[in-house]
Amino acid sequence: MKQSTRLQPICDFKKREEDEAAKKLAKATQELFQQRQRLTELESYRAEYGQQFTALGSGGMSAQKLREFQGFVHKLNTVVDQQKTAIENLQYDYESTKRQWLAARNRTSALNKVQTQYQEREQKVEEKKLQKEQDDRNNRRSSL
């Protein structure tokens, strides 16, 4: 059995691993994107709420309303901070997943390169063999 043929199942297996790593990377990318969008929405909402407070506060506000607003803003700030922490964790996961995908892609690429080299070498051997057979036939004909 040719070396390139023996190597094919390994190449196929590594390609499947690379494809799985690519799917994980796509999922991590999508999740990171969605959570960044959520943070943007939360920050926008917080800014909008602050503007509303400023507008309402300029006309006067009861102490009860002020405490409620401060409590809500505190909760909103907490959620924004939690979202930022979640994004940091997702960013770390994304980078890790990307490194895994790159490593899988490099392994697949290296194996494919080796397989191509084997195939080229086998092709040259086959061509030499055919040329030798042709030369032998020609030599037999000319000796007759």
What CATH number corresponds to the domain at position 115?
1.10.287.1700
**CA nearest neighbour of 17 among 95, 99, 112, 108:** 108
108 is in which domain, residue-wise? 3-143
Q: Does pTM top 0.85 for this prediction?
A: no
CA distance 39 to 25: 21
pLDDT of 52: 82
pLDDT of 63: 81
Number of domains in the chain: 1
CA distance 93 to 61: 46
| Cβ burial 45-63 (10 Å sphere, 16+ → b, else e) | ebeeeeeebeeeeeeeeee
Band the pLDDT of 144: cuts 50, 70, 90: low
The tens digit of pLDDT for each residue in 93-110 reads 999 999 999 999 999 999
CA distance 110 to 65: 66
